[in-house]
């Protein structure tokens, strides 16, 4: 795929993520996604044959970008505490930029299954990435030996909640400092 085509595809996916997040799957319109991307509706259909296909690709694209960032972050030469704080700020920036309303789908509809499956895969991969960093932190003596790195990774993965993100957006940075301090000192030797 050419660079221009890949950039247009990314713009469509970004627009779709925002549209699905703000309006939910059922109310999201291909026309609005096209408008957000600055293109015509027919161009969206050149890339994605249906709203379901676009939802699948949006989930893969959005979660893939986050996982790529977190993978690089967790390999950076900084303390585990700094990695956790940076991850939370990053995740909150994403939540705040697309809105805190997640796609809420009930039942066994195709869209609900798509989102559930994507979220499950994303969470599993995210926890694995964070767990590797926690294992390194444990080897470096930054966290206690008697705590499961899997448990640590799960706690960290869920720290960026909509409430925390809203507080950080309001400038309550001491909240993040306190959360990290409590987390790290609870794990530290």
Domain-wise residue ranges, the chain: 55-187
Are 67 and 122 contacting, i.e. CB atoms less than 8 angstroms apart?
yes
Are 153 and 130 contacting, i.e. CB atoms less than 8 angstroms apart?
yes
Which tokens belong to 129?
């990435």
Q: Between these two residues, 158 and 173, which has the higher pLDDT value? A: 158
pLDDT tier at 187 (50, 70, 90 boundaries)?
low
pLDDT at 166: 84
Q: Kindly report, residue by residue over 53-67, the tens digit of the pLDDT.
A: 999 999 899 899 999
Kindly state which CATH superfamily the domain 55-187 is placed in.
Tetracycline Repressor, domain 2 (1.10.357.10)
pLDDT tier at 68 (50, 70, 90 boundaries)?
very high
């Amino acid at each position: 795929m050419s660079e221009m085509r890949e950039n247009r595809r990314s713009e469509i996916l970004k627009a779709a993520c925002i549209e699905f997040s703000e309006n939910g799957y059922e109310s999201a319109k291909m026309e609005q996604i096209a408008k957000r991307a600055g293109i015509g509706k027919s161009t969206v259909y050149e890339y994605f044959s249906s709203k379901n296909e676009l939802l699948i690709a949006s989930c893969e694209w959005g979660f893939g970008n986050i996982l790529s960032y977190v993978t690089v972050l967790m390999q950076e030469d900084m303390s585990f505490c700094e990695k956790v704080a940076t991850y939370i700020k990053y995740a909150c920036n994403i939540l705040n930029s697309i809105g805190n309303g997640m796609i809420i789908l009930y039942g066994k509809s195709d869209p609900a299954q798509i989102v559930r499956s994507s979220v499950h895969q994303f969470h599993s991969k995210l926890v694995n990435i964070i767990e590797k960093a926690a294992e390194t932190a444990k080897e470096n003596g930054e966290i206690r030996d008697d705590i499961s790195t899997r448990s640590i990774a799960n706690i960290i993965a869920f720290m960026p909640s909509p409430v925390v993100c809203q507080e950080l957006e309001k400038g309550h940075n001491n909240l993040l400092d306190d959360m990290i301090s409590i987390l790290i000192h609870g794990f530290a030797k």
